[in-house]
Amino acid sequence: MSVKTFLLPDLGEGLAEAELVKWLVAVGDTIVIDQPVAEVETAKSMVEVPSPYAGTVHELHGSVGQMVMVDSPLFSVLEEGATAPAAKPQPQATVPVRERAQSYREEERAGTKAPAGQGSGNVLIGYGTPDGLSATARKRRPRSGAETPAAPQRTVAAEPRRAPLVISPLVRKLARDRGIDIAAVTGSGPGGLVLRSDVEAASAGTAAAATVSAPEPAGATATAQASAPATAATPGELDARSGLAIASRTPISGVRKTIAQAMARSRSEIPEATVWVDVDATNLLALRASMKSTDPENTPGILAFIARFVVAGLQKYPALNTRIEHNAQGDAEIIGFDGINLGIAAQTDRGLMVPAIRNAQQFSARGLNAELARLTEVTRSGKATVAELTSGTFTLNNYGVFGVDGSAAIINYPEVAILGVGRIIDKPWVVGGELAVRKVTELTLAFDHRVCDGATAAGFLRFVADAMENPAAVLADL
């Protein structure tokens, strides 16, 4: 068939739909293999969907803001050298859904070439292959039929609409927000990859690319909104309850919808209790300052030290590193784990994400620090994997970066506990019977009362607090 219809694939996230955020092409545009065609948002990530076909955009199936179901048509492409059919093309249905989904999963695997006629590898991730923006840089197996291996339409080096080499949707958004034509930006990354610093440099009017900045601390983008853009309300529409005019209506969708559902389920299913304690972190800050003076490049951050103490505490009190499930008979069971996946709450411009350091018990404080930096970066850039975002068994939340002392945190369902860390500030503290000014923070632990009682929760919290107050003694045993 001369018209190829691309169906929204199984994204490998256990989700059945995605929201169409933006079309990057229009009907009649000429595109190349791996050129981004649309931006879609699932409950876990924002991705750009590249085209597995080269040719002319024949039809866009759906409008911006619409929810597109998996295996539904997303767009159709009239392949090069073909003529448009008179009738509207129908989705390819000759391949069973299960076989097609398996094909997509195989395509997602790194280094695997897609079957002929289905485009490039890595399509499910949504970015295409980095070298695939030029169709001449790729080789495809000839399809069965009359197509010849050396078809002239494969040479499209002069394609005027060739997409720039950009992986991160955040970089594209930054360019749009600053009114910069990203196709005109010279990338300083590997293979000409356009980075955030390149867009910032172009915005500032500098000729040289800016230095790549270090990952921001968790929560640095707290003021960004993850919900869908507000739409204007009907003029004169009044709220029946308050009598006030309705100014806007904002749909709850995408990540915000998922967060709302998870928080509501946590509150409705988990009988949580909360304990907290003030901690003198003066010695911990002094220890880190001493290490930084001798080895500034390899000194872990404060959060990495706390994470190491949390891991040790969970090994001592494993009841807080569990999950409640129901067996085939419907009876509740407490599931324990041989390992700790430590989730780190991070605020992004798409909402609160909790990537997890898998098998955190295997890392030192330095190793945890490196993983914290890596996970923060990939999560903010929208490149965190599904496993990284959903595999946590306990969550550590550093809300102190927002300038607050404490929080009645909601447990990250289906986990059974979450530990929050407040800001570290100077406070009066009694030391050796005398008043002194110390660096004090507050630890708050919310836990599922079904898996343990207050004594266990208090024991864990006290262990972490004591470790922060006497870090050298505890680290000697870790």
- Which residues are tagged catalytic? 449
Q: How far apart are CA 296 and CA 9, in angstroms?
A: 47
Burial (CB count within 10 angstroms: exposed 0-12, middle 13-18, buried 19+), residue 469: middle
Distances (CA, A) of 114 to 30, 119, 124, 149: 22, 6, 11, 17
Q: How many CB atoms lie within 10 A of CB 164?
A: 19
Distance CA 170, CA 210 (A): 17
The strand pairing partners of 31, in sequence order, are: 55
371: left (phi over 0), alpha (psi -120 to 50) or beta: alpha
Burial track 271-305 (b if 16+ CB lie within 10 A, e otherwise): ebeeebebbbbbbbbebbeeeeeeeeeebbbbbbb
Query: Could you tell me the CA-to-CA distances from 88 to 6, 30, 336, 471 in Å, in that order?
Result: 14, 19, 55, 69
Q: What is the largest CA-CA distance in the chain?
A: 91
| Beta pairing, strands 322-326 & 332-336 | antiparallel
* Closest CA relative to residue 112, chosen from 34, 139, 149, 120: 120
Contact 344, 355 (CB under 8 A): yes
Give the side-chain half-sphere CA count within 13 A for 90: 2
Exposed, middle or buried, 67 (CB in 10 Å: 0-12/13-18/19+)?
middle
| Token pair of 364 as six digits | 């030192």
The CA–CA distances, whole Å, from 241 to 234, 244, 245, 246 equal 17, 8, 11, 11
Note whether 431 and 438 are within 8 A (CB).
Answer: yes
| 354 close to 389: Cβ distance less than 8 angstroms | yes
Strand pairing of 342-344 and 356-357?
A: antiparallel
- The count of residues in the chain is 478
Q: Which residues pair with 438 in a beta bridge?
A: 427
8 A C-beta contact, residue 413 and residue 392 = no
Q: Please write down the HEC assignment for all residues of 225-238.
A: CCCCCCEECCCCCE
